[in-house]
Amino acid sequence: LVLEVLKAISSKRHTHDILFVFVEQVARIVETKRCSIVRVWGSGSHAHVLASHEDSAVCDHKIALDKYPELRLAIHTGKKVVVNDVYADPLTRPMGAAFKEAGIDALVVIPIVCRDLQVGTLLLRAARQGRGFSFREISFFEVIAEAASSALEKAQLLETVQLANARLEHLAVTDALTGLYNRRYFEERIAQEAERAVRYGLPFSVLMADVDNFKQVNDTWGHLTGDAVLRGISVRMQESIRRVDMVARYGGEEFIIVLPQTGGLGAVSEAERMRSAVGNAPIDALTGPVSVTVSIGVAVFDAKQMRTTDDLIGAADGALQRAKQLGKNRVVLAENREGKS
């Protein structure tokens, strides 16, 4: 039976899936009303039910330990707790009314992993109605807990490492100041869009935006205020784009936006919406509200005339410079080599 349980959980990769299959299998072998895995961090006043055989959706259900004296004792001693009559045992007698309402007459708590810094304390808790647990059943709980502890601990550790790796990957493509994607990720994304555009004949555009007179903001209010302004602009840009679009910090006070499946008219319309979102209201900064505007250059990818994505970026940058020359706080669409917009 132990081998059957271990075989069942070995096919799972996610911690919750392993925990649920574990309690489900244990409850199948030893008749129980409730069978769950509970985790406690340190000496806190709460515990978390990580899995329950009654409901696969239970994942991180918070419970107060003062209502579970059997859990508190198992955590304190690091040993199993067996109560075959919850109404007569001094440990659980004060909670008799709650047990009666829940239909529980006997319970067992078996430590699985004790006080691990990565995992916490994991406990197997089984409860039943009508009769107590036999010596044979209690021995099975101990054996299965011992056999499963390594698998559960490794699964939890693996998931912790995976989450940490995902976090590192996110940091690698994120600008620390604004929370937008960084230039590295932009370059990967624009290469993908160019390949898609060539393969399927789909349009896509790039916007290059620059904060007007940003040096004056820094000189007047300081760099901390300047940083707050950049963060505020980033939020407004994010809120003004579509879900399929991507905005990145290109460098300094420059931002660049990729608009998949978007031609010139659509790109100009989105650029105007972004320009208005930034300039229509002051941005709250450390020294008070600061009014800023952006100039935006728009370029549409042309596979026949543009050999690389650098040509597209150069076209957007040229349009941006044109917007600056025309008085700033405006959108300009780049002309192609034939002189057409």
Residue 321 has pLDDT above 70, yes or no: yes
When pLDDT is cut at 50, 70 and 90, the band that residue 339 belongs to is very low
Instruction: List the one residue out of 141, 135, 294 whose CA is nearest residue 207.
Output: 294
Residue 61 to residues 57, 67, 77, 176, Cα–Cα distance (Å): 10, 14, 24, 34
pLDDT above 90: residue 312? yes
Question: Can you give the pLDDT at residue 144?
Answer: 84
Position 258 pLDDT exceeds 90: yes
264 class by beta-carbon count within 10 Å (0-12 exposed, 13-18 middle, 19+ buried)? middle
pLDDT tens-place string over residues 121-159? 888 899 999 889 999 999 988 888 887 776 666 666 556
- Has residue 65 got a pLDDT over 60? yes
Tell me which of 106 and 169 has the higher pLDDT.
Answer: 106
Q: What's the pLDDT at 115?
A: 61
The answer to whether 43 and 79 are in contact (CB under 8 A) is no
Tell me: pLDDT of 58 over 70.
yes
pLDDT recorded at residue 158: 58
Q: What is the arithmetic mean of pLDDT over 170-191?
A: 90
Handedness of CA 300, 301, 306, 309 (dihedral sign): positive
| Token duo for residue 311 | 């040509």
Residue 341 has pLDDT above 50, yes or no: no
Name beta bridge partners: 120.
Answer: 116
Query: 253's torsion region: left (phi>0), alpha (psi -120 to 50) or beta?
Result: alpha
pLDDT above 70 coverage of the chain, percent: 90
Give pLDDT, residue 340: 47
Q: For the residues 248-276, what does the mean pLDDT come to? A: 94
With a cut of 90, say whether residue 88 has pLDDT above it.
yes
Q: Give the pLDDT band of residue 322 (cuts 50, 70, 90).
A: very high
pLDDT band at 256 (very low <50, low <70, confident <90, very high): very high
Most confident of 30-39, 166-175, 192-201, 275-284: 275-284
Binning pLDDT at 50, 70 and 90, where does residue 338 land? very low
- Assign 89 a pLDDT band (cuts: 50, 70, 90): very high
Q: What is the pLDDT of residue 15?
A: 74
| pLDDT tier for residue 116 given thresholds of 50, 70 and 90 | low
The region of weakest confidence among 142-151, 282-291, 295-304 is 142-151
Report the b/e string of 298-334 with b at 16+ CB within 10 A.
bbbbbeeebeebebbbebbbbbbebbbeeeebbbbbb
Mean per-residue pLDDT of the chain: 87
Asked whether the predicted pLDDT for residue 303 surpasses 90, the reply is no
**139 contacts 147 by C-beta, under 8 angstroms:** no
Q: What is the mean pLDDT of residues 162-167?
A: 69
* Cross-strand bridge partners of residue 297: 208, 332
**Phi, psi of 115, deg, nearest 5:** 50, 50
pLDDT at 85 over 90: yes
Cβ atoms 126, 107 nearer than 8 A: yes
Residue 312 to residue 339: CA distance in whole angstroms:
15
Element (H, E) at 6: helix 2-10
pLDDT digits (tens, 9 = 90+) for 202-224: 899 999 999 999 999 999 999 99
Q: Measure the CA–CA gap between 311 and 223, rounded to whole angstroms.
A: 33
Q: What is the mean pLDDT of residues 42-70?
A: 86
